[in-house]
């Protein structure tokens, strides 16, 4: 039994249980993302200033854009891997996983560099007010630098 792996195929067994097991990690991930944003707002609003809170709030659409791009990549990768697993092609599914992980790391580096470099431009085209522009720029650059980790 050692070294043997099991694959959870969603088309077999109780579909309700399978969907629940599939949904729970997604829900938890979204919950933590929302809690992160809420904690940011509470901490900045309470301990820094209203100006800083406005800066943090003004970059939400930009951060959601970049998270959405990476989520789209992840969903597409999941489809590829699921098809290969469904076809019981172990060799190609393992290769696909390794390729996708490598590509994911590369994309995260590219998104970090592009996001950091384009921060001021992104803030300009989204119409961030001049009064919070500098603080929003600093916050977003830190966000992008932390996105690779």
Query: Could you report the per-residue pLDDT of 81-126, keeping only the tens digit for each?
Result: 989 988 888 999 999 999 999 998 998 899 899 999 999 999 999 9
Domain boundaries, the chain: 13-47, 49-147
Closest CA to 133 of 119, 113, 144: 119
Q: Over 50: is that where the pLDDT of 1 sits? A: no
Q: Over 50: is that where the pLDDT of 53 sits? A: yes
What integer best gives the mean pLDDT of the chain? 86
In terms of pTM, does the model score above 0.75?
A: no
Rounded to an integer, the average pLDDT of 43-59 is 87
Q: Which residues of 33-58 are buried (b: 16+ CB within 10 A; e: fewer)?
A: eeeeeeebeeebeeeeeeebbbbbbb
């Amino acid at each position: 039994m050692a070294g043997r792996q099991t694959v959870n195929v969603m088309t077999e067994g109780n579909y309700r249980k399978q969907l629940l097991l599939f949904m729970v990690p997604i829900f938890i991930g979204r919950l933590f993302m929302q809690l992160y944003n809420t904690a940011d707002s509470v901490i900045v609003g309470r301990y820094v200033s209203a100006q800083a809170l406005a800066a943090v709030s003004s970059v939400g659409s930009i951060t959601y854009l970049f998270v959405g791009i990476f989520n789209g990549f992840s969903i597409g990768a999941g489809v590829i891997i699921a098809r290969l697993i469904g076809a019981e092609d172990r060799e190609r599914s393992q290769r696909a996983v390794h390729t996708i992980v490598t590509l994911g790391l590369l994309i995260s580096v590219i998104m970090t560099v592009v996001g950091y470099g384009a921060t001021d431009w992104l803030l300009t085209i989204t119409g961030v007010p001049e009064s919070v522009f500098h603080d929003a720029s600093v916050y977003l650059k830190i966000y992008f630098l932390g996105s690779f980790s």
